[in-house]
Amino acid sequence: MHKAIAGAMIWCVVSNGMAKADDSMNVAMQLGALLAGEDACHLTYDGDAIRAYIAKHVRPDDMEFGTMLDTMVGGQRIEIRNMGRSELIAFCTQTERAAKANGFMSPQ
């Protein structure tokens, strides 16, 4: 019985740690795509809004976020260069919508 309780407690700690890592990776992936689209889509983001978004969504002790974000931005820039015209239009349309929805740009 004690082993079952201990096992359940370990699983909770491990799964909670994995969820936090996944959240950080997801934020880096999504934010990376948005940041990579700024120049390609001829957009201008508010630096303070980006700082606030990161402060809200990334743990202060997360030392992997910056590296992961850099990797995601670089990868997305390569993807953007390989997009066809219509794909780029679709990408830029949603990038602009998401940037506005998350406060990175004025809603105009």
Sorted by where each begins, the domain ranges of the chain are: 21-101
Q: Quick one: CA torsion of 58, 60, 62, 63, rounded to 10 degrees?
A: 130
Given a cut of 60, is residue 81 above it in pLDDT?
A: yes
- Report the percentage of the chain scoring pLDDT > 70: 78
**CA 85 from centroid of its chain's CA atoms:** 24
What's the confidence (pLDDT) of residue 24?
86
Tokens encoding 95: 């990038």
Residues 71-78 have a mean pLDDT of: 96
Tell me the whole-structure pTM to 2 decimals: 0.75
Given a cut of 80, is residue 106 above it in pLDDT?
A: no
Given a cut of 90, is residue 76 above it in pLDDT?
A: yes
**For residue 42, is it left (φ>0), alpha (ψ between -120 and 50) or beta?**
left
Q: Quick one: CA torsion of 32, 38, 39, 41, rounded to 10 degrees?
A: 120
What's the confidence (pLDDT) of residue 16?
46
